[in-house]
Amino acid sequence: MTYASVIDSHAHLLSQYYENIDNVLAKANEANVKIMIVPAVNIDTCQESINLAQKHENIYAAIGHHPHEANLYNKDTETRLYELAKHPKVVAIGETGLDFHYNLSSQAQQLDAFRSQINIAKDLNKPVIVHCRDAFKQTFDLLAELNHKIGVFHCFTGNPQMLEEIYALNFHISFSGIITFPKSFEIQETAKLMHLDKMLIETDCPYLTPVPHRGKTNEPKYIWHTLNKIASLRSMNSDDLAQITVANTQTLFNLPINK
């Protein structure tokens, strides 16, 4: 039984993944997941994320367009994102970023869409939620060039050698259930060594269900396995780590403190 509460900083609670979101939210509540940030995955899911945030006090929206679909990003997408981002419950732009592992859109298209979204975030002074796979150098370069120093590397898959560069960008790092996988040695090392004041946690649900629930659809209630894994790597108390990650998430996304 646990009494501390946590924030899931990245949960795709969208109808394309869940038949009954209310049920998922009820279970999150029972598990003391007190706040969830719901990133859209493309321009078509932004309004759904905002609607959910409007309906539930403890949900916030992030709006953005994933690099996998960067081939569909155009001027019109940019204009719509800009307008939607002004909604008071939109706390970030994302997820956006670069994925040079799958390359489902061309690298040039991904770079253009990412640049455009960083500029929106910069204009509106909001953090950017970055998806980065096999493209760390290009991501670091673009963030440095545009000098937008608020955001998070979500679902971090890098290594401890990247920490100095990430600190220089003033970015946060968020860990998902991947950290509970036996072969995630470099990710575990990063969580062990990094500055605690930059750490967030997330599920990235419906994907990446942590051990020991592999095979099930991920949901916010499972975030405790990720938190407990990091606490054990750092030989610290889970409740203390929960409190620290809650405070970090509230700071980064400018969330109300007295919930």
**Residue ranges in 32-91 that form contacts with Zn ion under rule CB under 5 A:** none
Please list, in sequence order, all residues whose beta carbon lies within 8 angstroms of the beta carbon of residue 23, skipping any fewer than 6 positions away. Answer: none
Residue type, 49: S
Starting at the edge strand found earlier in the chain, the sheet holding 59-63 runs 6-8, 33-39, 59-63, 90-99, 128-133, 151-153, 172-175, 199-201
Q: Which stretch binds Zn ion (CB under 5 A): 45-53, 188-196, 200-208, 244-252?
A: 200-208
The one-letter code for the residue type at 252 is L
Site string for Zn ion, 140-169 (x = CB under 5 A): ------------------------------
- Give the nearer residue to Zn ion in terms of CB position, either 99 or 204: 204
Minimal distance in Å, beta carbon 40 to Zn ion? Answer: 10
- Distances, alpha carbon 97 to alpha carbons 133, 154, 214, in Å: 9, 10, 26
Residue 13 has which token pair?
Answer: 């609670």
Interface with Zn ion (CB under 5 A), residue total 2
Q: Whose Cβ is closer to Zn ion: residue 171's or residue 231's?
A: 171
- DSSP class of 34: E
User: For residues 96 and 231, which CB has a smaller minimum distance to Zn ion in the complex?
Assistant: 96
Of 177 and 245, CB closest to Zn ion? 177
Distance (Å, whole) CA 17 – CA 149: 32
Q: Which stretch binds Zn ion (CB under 5 A): 23-31, 170-178, 197-205, 240-248?
A: 197-205
The answer to the question of residue 204 lying near Zn ion (CB under 5 A) is: yes
DSSP H or E stretch at residue 82? helix 75-84
Complex with Zn ion: residue 220 or 231, whichever CB lies closer: 220
Residue 223 contacts residue 174 (beta carbons within 8 Å): no
Q: x/- site string to Zn ion, residues 88 to 127, per CB under 5 A?
A: -------x--------------------------------
Is the Cβ of residue 69 or residue 204 nearer to Zn ion in the bound state?
Answer: 204
Rounded to the nearest 10°, the torsion over CA 233, 238, 241, 245 is 110
Cβ at position 159, least distance to Zn ion in Å: 20
Q: Taking the mean position of all CA atoms in its chain, how far away is CA 213?
A: 21
CB of 208 to Zn ion, least distance (A): 9
Q: Which residues bind Zn ion (CB under 5 A)?
A: 95, 204
